[in-house]
Amino acid sequence: MLDILSDRTYRNLFAAQLVALLGTGLATVALGLLAYDLAGDNAAMVLGTVFAIKMVAYVTIAPVAGAFATRVPRRRLLVCLDLVRAGAVGCLPFVNEIWQVYLLIFLLQSASAAFTPTFQATIPDVLKDEERYTRALSLSRLVYDLENLASPTLAALLLAIVGYSSLFLGTVAGFIASALFVLSVALPSPKPSEPRGVYDQITRGLRIYLATPRLRGLLALNLAVSSAGAMVLVNSVVLVRGTLDLPETALAWTMFAFGFGSMLAALSLPRLLDRVEDRPVMIGGSVLMMASLFALALGTAALGLSWPLLLAAWAFVGLGYSAVLTPSGRLLRRSSNPEDRPALFAAQFALSHACWLMTYPLAGWLMTRFDLIATLAVLTSLVGLAVLAALRVWPSPDPEIIEHTHENLPPDHPHLRGGRHHAHRFVVDDAHPRWTSQL
């Protein structure tokens, strides 16, 4: 997997991702402490609002940003967005009102909503070989999981010698370092073949996404991931500290079990995806998440909740979670031309976070209003419905090269040099506005 780091451009982009993630992890810890300083016992409400602002920014800003990403050279855009993020975080140590936190967080997350999908869309243009790109996706997933372990550890070490405000400076340093790494390499910036209107640009990614069967399947699997993931991320603290009455260290080990499963999948997927298509791997991962939640419900109903049972369930949920998320970039790459990738990655970013915006509060409300078994029943059912939807809208087989006939283009159109009936890698674009063999 690490052999892809021999590519200098990708190596620097990977380093940019790594330092930015570590910095973001430090800011997450510092933000909780800042919220407590400003709001005291109402800190949970402040943080809940902050997370809601984050999701709203992701859902609303990403498609707009993706639409205009082709108008600016990608390197310049990514560097500017890193500097905006650094500036927003750099102001947080100086706030003295809660509304100022909300404003800066919206600015920070809006910049992230533009940065992340543009960055993700650049990687397949740098690593054009699918096998190498698959290894980059697995390495990226592995880094996300390791960051969840490394950032809190690093924050704890720093807090032993400095105040929490200094953690924000670490985040600023991370974003500036990310900008320098991006600035050190030349990045491809594919341009659309013809100018487009504002509405066309903003909606293009969503229209391509929803017109492509495999991506409609991905949207359904996004719901499966967010349903199972919300159960883990929202309710683990209640189960460990409340139901099981275990210490804080037990919560860390519980989340480690989830991360361990995810890391194990990330390490195994490159070889698996060399032999097996994306569809069975991703649907299998969703079924594994569903089975794990169902087994946890059955075990709890029969014997009561135990920590070993919870650890095992979360490890298998993490395995399925990564099995769905890691190959998703391959589907987006396969379903787009280079000039449309920023818009399409932005659509995936917005739609996947819209699923999280729905399941985060649902998981919390169910656990507060009902009990563990009822919560698991609802979320397991959601995962199951998502799997059924994916099976229905994502056909098998799912070939890249499709024979089709054009009736929608004039005889002298350059695309018809091979005749009206031809076969090639099929993606939704101006010449192929819908997914069909008859255009």
438 in a structural domain: no
225 in a structural domain: yes
Tell me, yes or no, whether 243 and 160 share the same domain. Answer: no
Report the SS3 class of residue 423.
strand
Could you give the CA distance from residue 69 to residue 369 in angstroms, rounded to a whole number?
Answer: 43
111 in a structural domain: yes
What CATH code is carried by the domain that includes residue 161?
Answer: 1.20.1250.20
With a CB cutoff of 8 Å and minimum separation 6, the contacts of 319 are: 261, 262, 264, 265, 285, 288
Could you give the CA distance from residue 208 to residue 223 in angstroms, rounded to a whole number?
Answer: 19
320 in a structural domain: yes
Tell me, yes or no, whether 19 and 128 share the same domain. Answer: yes
Tell me, yes or no, whether 23 and 130 share the same domain. Answer: yes
Of 154, 189, 224, the residue that ends a domain is 189
Tell me, yes or no, whether 254 and 392 share the same domain. Answer: yes
| Main-chain phi, psi angles of 17, to 5 degrees | -65, -40
306 in a structural domain: yes
- Quote the pTM value: 0.85
Tell me, yes or no, whether 146 and 248 share the same domain. Answer: no
pLDDT in single tens digits along all 439 residues of the chain = 567 888 898 899 889 988 888 888 888 778 877 877 887 767 657 776 787 888 888 888 888 877 677 778 888 989 999 999 999 999 999 988 888 988 998 999 899 888 888 888 888 888 888 788 888 888 888 877 777 767 767 777 788 788 888 888 989 999 999 999 999 988 877 666 566 666 677 788 889 999 999 999 999 999 999 999 989 888 888 888 888 888 867 877 888 888 889 889 988 988 898 899 999 999 999 999 999 999 999 999 999 999 999 999 999 999 999 999 999 989 998 998 888 888 888 889 889 989 998 888 888 888 888 889 999 999 999 999 999 999 999 998 888 888 888 877 787 787 777 678 887 888 887 777 788 766 6
- Burial of 425 (C-beta count, 10 Å sphere; 0-12/13-18/19+): exposed
Say whether the peptide bond before residue 397 is cis (omega within 30 degrees of 0): yes
Tell me, yes or no, whether 143 and 285 share the same domain. Answer: no
Tell me, yes or no, whether 171 and 249 share the same domain. Answer: no
Two structure tokens written together for 188:
């491809």
Tell me, yes or no, whether 78 and 150 share the same domain. Answer: yes
Tell me, yes or no, whether 144 and 212 share the same domain. Answer: no
DSSP designation for 3: G
Q: Contact, 227 vs 382, CB < 8 A?
A: yes
**Domain membership of residue 121 as a residue range:** 1-189
Half-sphere exposure of 168 (CA within 13 A, CB side): 23
Measuring CA to CA, how many Å separate 193 from each of 25, 337, 338?
40, 11, 11
- Three-state SS annotation for 248-292: HHHHHHHHHHHHHHHHHHHHHHHHHHHHCCHHHHHHHHHHHHHHH
